[in-house]
Amino acid sequence: MWDKRLLVAAFLLSLVACNVEVENDNEQKDIVEPPLTEVNESEESNNGGESSEEEVELPAEENGGIESEPGGYFNSELGYQIYVLEDYTFTLEEPRTDQIYHNTQSGYFLRIVDNGKNADFTKMEETLLEHSQGAITAYDIEFNDVEYAYVEHYQSEEGDAYIYHLAKKYEETVVSYTIFLPQGDDMEEIKEDFIKMIETVQFD
């Protein structure tokens, strides 16, 4: 009797063991789907898509000259072109005369006068020296083809001031430049700005 019970128990245990193995096999054979891979936007752009970054073309400097500084060219009714720095304003003052003045420093300006064709430099120079308001002396300036250059020191209502007188011939046109500079901390810097702008003058 006990032998039959033992045989039945052994048979049942074997069935349980087989069932466990079958379940394990089924679990191992389950198909596991791979996770979805996110597509990088930068990879899309490198593969023919549109890039999110805009290409910015930087302005090239003009050989380190004044054109590399903020500003722009202006065409005068007198027939010439001049590069004006952004801190200055170009304007027509009167017939045959233009003016460039500093936007924030009062009293600093450049007067440009067209003296016509074949003007006499000798008479212009004599008139300048005769009507000077203060002490006037020759001014040594590194300026191409300048006919004369003077600096005049005089006393204005606001105090000491300086006037720089320059004259130059462009083919047949004679142009005189007068730089007005009240005494001040920025005087030298503004004077150099005016001279740099004068050097860009070109007639058509």
Tokens 């903020």 map to which residue? 70
For residue 22, tell me if it sits in a domain: no
End-to-end CA distance of the chain: 131
For residue 54, tell me if it sits in a domain: no
The domain that holds 159 is classified in CATH as 3.40.1000.10
Q: What is the pLDDT of residue 39?
A: 40
Q: Splitting the chain (204 residues) into consecutive groups of 10 residues, what average pLDDT does each group show?
A: 47 46 44 42 39 32 64 93 96 92 94 91 94 92 86 89 95 93 94 95 90
64: left (phi over 0), alpha (psi -120 to 50) or beta: left
Q: pTM of this prediction?
A: 0.67
Strands 97-102 vs 109-117: parallel, antiparallel or unpaired: antiparallel
Q: What is the pLDDT of residue 104?
A: 93
For residue 89, tell me if it sits in a domain: yes
Distance CA 18, CA 39 (A): 46
Domain that holds residue 175: 66-203
For residue 111, tell me if it sits in a domain: yes
Distance CA 162, CA 167 (A): 17
For residue 118, tell me if it sits in a domain: yes
* C-alpha count within 13 angstroms, C-beta hemisphere, residue 125: 13
Q: What is the pLDDT of residue 72?
A: 93
Count how many domains the chain has: 1
Which amino acid, 101?
Y
For residue 169, tell me if it sits in a domain: yes
The sign of the torsion formed by the CA atoms of 16, 20, 26, 27 equals: positive
Strands 146-156 vs 109-117: parallel, antiparallel or unpaired: unpaired
For residue 1, tell me if it sits in a domain: no
For residue 93, tell me if it sits in a domain: yes
Which amino acid, 29?
K
Q: What is the pLDDT of residue 172?
A: 83
